[in-house]
Structure 1
Amino acid sequence: MTAEPRAPRPPSQARFAARAVGRSLAASARSVQQVVARGARKFAEVTSPVTDVISVTGRLVLLASLVSFIAAWLLGWIELAFLGATLLAALLVSVPFTLGRMHYRVSVALQPTRVVAGERAFGRLLVVNTGAKPSIPSRLELPVGAGLAEFIVPALPTAADHEELFAVPTSRRAVIVAGPAVSVRGDQLGLLRRIVRWSEPVELFVHPVTARLKPSAAGLVRDLEGEVTKTITDNDISFHALRAYQPGDALRNVHWRTSARTGQLMVRQYEETRRSQLALLQRTERSSYASDEEFELGVSVLASLGVQVIRDATRVDVLTEALTLRTATPTALLDDTSRVVAASGAFDSMRAFVRERTKRLSAPSVAIIVAGSGVPLAEFRSAETVFGADTQTLGFRVELGAASRIAKVAGTTVVTVGSLSDLARLVGRVRP
């Protein structure tokens, strides 16, 4: 006979107690960890006025000093103790250089605040001594874009000022941030640095170079009042036909002459009209462009088309992989094009990019897509399938140095732009 399997024994009270103790210890450990973390943050906040003064070099010197003292104690080498004392003395000697307080009013201004790439722009730094006593010489640092400008401010009597002028590099499209201006007090070795912020950062918009296009973008949007569609509606301006009255129809649509002649109420039907709505998109995937110069050409094409459409008072949405650009005024659009940067891996394909970025927009009457020479012509055709039959799709394929031309890929017109100077002529020949 086979023995019947035994039923599992219920856990003993000892096991329950062990588990409870384990959970209690884990909860206690988490509580202690949270208390320690809060205490460390509080300690860091309290000591930050002192610790922030020590530069990276100063921290390395302090660490080397502590290591030298520990090694001297363990190994009994008096030379290491002298080395540690020398390094520590260097830090102590640097302390007086950080003492003192300045009373400045500092302003940073850029003139002009908006330029086209390649134009000149200048900055002005004004320092005024607002203290009751003359100030001592000091050093001011002003970040300008990726660079750092340094200015020596001489001793200033009360209410006196000191002015510095500087040039801003504007060779490439960008948003250049100047500031904040900070004063730096410290020793010559750079062990200690006490920094005081005196101004807020200001921005300089370096706009892309654009081409001047003819009004209405030379036919890109041929009817600014509206485009007639095949959709039948009861309220619009384009008359279509008459039909018999049905309960609920508005009496204002009744055609009384026809109703009197036929003896039956007849109402008007209309063809729906839609006001022109553009969607202007640029594919900013880095691999889509052969070079940085070609990418800049793409941004210039985007800006040129967008500015002219806004001037024509046509509704437009301008989008890239990462940005939805403002279109209230041409200046707002150009400011935002200064922020356009190349992306990597945001979307797998042109179609995925267009579908994702336009899914929350109303159906456009014209969709214009700008991309680089790395995008095959078939990709523009695939993007066309995102929109309905009422949407005209245009592609602008920038290929720096290539012969400008216009091609037809199924129902999509693809314009190859080799130079920005060709854009106005090409747009004038486009017929969606």
Structure 2
Amino acid sequence: MTAFARRPAPEARPVSSTGSIQGLRSRAADLWQSVTALGRAMALAALLCALAFVPTGWRELLAGTLLGAGMLLLGLLMSLGNLSCNAETSLDQGRLEVGGQAELVLVLTNPGSRSTRRGRIGLALGQGTIMAPLPALTPGQSHQIRLKLEARSRGVIDLGPVTMEAGDPLGLIRRRRILTGARKLYIHPRTVALPPLEAGLERDLEGDPGPGIVDDDLEFHALRPYAPGDDMKRVHWLSTARAGTLMVRQYEPTLRTRTELILDGQAASYRNADEFELAVELFASLGCRCLLDGRRLQALAPEPDDLDAHVTTLPTEDPRSFLDACSAIRPSQDSYDKPDLADAPERTSLTILVTGSLGDRQPSALMGESVQGTPPVMLLAADLDAQPDLQMQPGLVSAVLDSLQDLPPLLENQP
């Protein structure tokens, strides 16, 4: 007979109340956060009335206590209900230009097995919030909210988060649930279509292939039939033997196209904010033209966030990233050392400076005493109160513009 050892029964452990206490604290914190400032003032008034009623026995104080407590309880009951909802936002345009419009579509879906209650949808847009009513949704039901957005000023704004809230009509209780996070919306400065930049194109054997065809360079392009006057040194004899007629070489021009584009970001250089916006529009239009032309571009502008770094280099991988950075440009209220045009980076072929009507436009201050060895400089001054003007000196083109539309004719007549 086999004997089995009898194991002692495990001792009964008391149920830990830590989880339940934490749950109660979390619910109490959520409940307190749902009480608005007006509701907290009402609760404080009801508490003071109750404390004053004990020693005085005044019925008016008791009535105030009951009224305050009743209104808070009613608000709490009116805010109860299911607020679980999925939200998706979509823009027909991910980026806007100043003055442009876009349609924002907000799709709300009830993913649960219970119906949601009626409430309000809040969409944070920059510093403000757009509110829209939301009907009760049955399980699986969706609801669309369409909003028209108009870009009135340049900038980078936060679109979202999207919240759903419910409460009483008096605003004592507001339950709020965050449905989505925030995303960035870029409002680009106005730009204008410009002709290709011809200024600052220099023949350089170490440069990059440029547009057009020339008869003598390093970058081979194609062959063409011989024409009277062609240099016999450019005849390609192997192709001539195959074709039975003289064939000469053609080349792509090898050009130095490194451009330095500078925006004067000092607020003291401009009369007002509109003038600074015009300067940013000129700056953005020129930068986009340089990138479309395939130029190597270094764009310098004031740092929008860091107060210590007054000048930053904007991304120039493509026009979109460049315009995104232009959306965040802000004028600097502090004075700082502007880039010296005479100390342009090595192998720079053109320097463009965009400033305001109060900026320094003296050639001696911009280029030093001598222009020898310095790249050509194009100086554009935004001045809303002046007539368009163009002045040309050796190595310096200076222009005053009172609107963005004055820029294309200037570049069409560039030297």
Query: In the alignment, is the contact (CA less than 8 A) between 1:401 and 1:419 conserved in 2?
Result: no
Pair 1:418 & 2:402 matched: yes
- 1:24-173 pair list within 5 angstroms: 48-70=29-51, 79-80=60-61, 82-173=63-154
Q: Deviation of residue 123 (structure 1)?
A: 0.6
SS in 2 for 1:58: helix
Query: In the alignment, is the contact (CA less than 8 A) between 2:126 and 2:158 conserved in 1?
Result: yes
Pair 1:382 & 2:365 matched: yes
SS in 1 for 2:123: strand
Pair 1:353 & 2:338 matched: yes
Identity, % of aligned pairs?
A: 25
- Aligned pair count reads 339
Q: Deviation of residue 143 (structure 1)?
A: 1.9
- With over 3 angstroms needed to count, the CA separation of the structure-2 counterparts of 1:67 and 1:222, relative to structure 1, is farther
- Residue equivalent to 1:367: 351
The answer for unaligned runs of 5 or more in structure 2 is 1-24, 208-216, 219-253, 305-312
Q: Deviation of residue 411 (structure 1)?
A: 6.2
- Residue equivalent to 2:198: 218
CA distance in 1, matches of 2:77, 2:271: 56
- With over 3 angstroms needed to count, the CA separation of the structure-2 counterparts of 1:354 and 1:80, relative to structure 1, is farther
- With over 3 angstroms needed to count, the CA separation of the structure-2 counterparts of 1:82 and 1:377, relative to structure 1, is same
Q: Deviation of residue 304 (structure 1)?
A: 0.8
Deviations 1:24-61 (A, max 9, x none): xxxxxxxxxxxxxxxxxxxx989642332222222332
Q: Deviation of residue 168 (structure 1)?
A: 0.1
Pair 1:333 & 2:322 matched: yes
- Residue equivalent to 1:18: none
Q: Deviation of residue 172 (structure 1)?
A: 2.8
SS in 2 for 1:181: strand
SS in 1 for 2:276: helix
CA distance in 1, matches of 2:121, 2:387: 51
- Residue equivalent to 1:344: 333
Higher helix share: 1
Deviations 1:39-84 (A, max 9, x none): xxxxx98964233222222233233334444555677766445434
SS in 2 for 1:162: strand
- Residue equivalent to 1:5: none
CA distance in 1, matches of 2:50, 2:359: 64
- 1:192-271 pair list within 5 angstroms: 192-215=173-196, 217-223=197-203
- With over 3 angstroms needed to count, the CA separation of the structure-2 counterparts of 1:51 and 1:157, relative to structure 1, is closer
CA distance in 2, matches of 1:314, 1:120: 31
CA distance in 2, matches of 1:317, 1:395: 16
Query: In the alignment, is the contact (CA less than 8 A) between 2:375 and 2:395 conserved in 1?
Result: no
Q: Which moved more, 1:301-310 or 1:54-63?
A: 54-63
The answer for unaligned runs of 5 or more in structure 1 is 1-43, 228-236, 239-272
CA distance in 1, matches of 2:153, 2:380: 22
CA distance in 1, matches of 2:28, 2:137: 32
CA distance in 1, matches of 2:280, 2:205: 29
* Match among 365, 378, 385 for residue 394 of structure 1: 378
Query: In the alignment, is the contact (CA less than 8 A) between 2:46 and 2:69 conserved in 1?
Result: yes
SS in 2 for 1:377: coil
- If the length of structure 2 is used for normalisation, what is the TM-score? 0.71
- With over 3 angstroms needed to count, the CA separation of the structure-2 counterparts of 1:219 and 1:93, relative to structure 1, is same
Q: Deviation of residue 108 (structure 1)?
A: 0.8
CA distance in 2, matches of 1:358, 1:51: 64
CA distance in 1, matches of 2:172, 2:343: 55
Query: In the alignment, is the contact (CA less than 8 A) between 2:111 and 2:139 conserved in 1?
Result: yes
SS in 2 for 1:334: helix
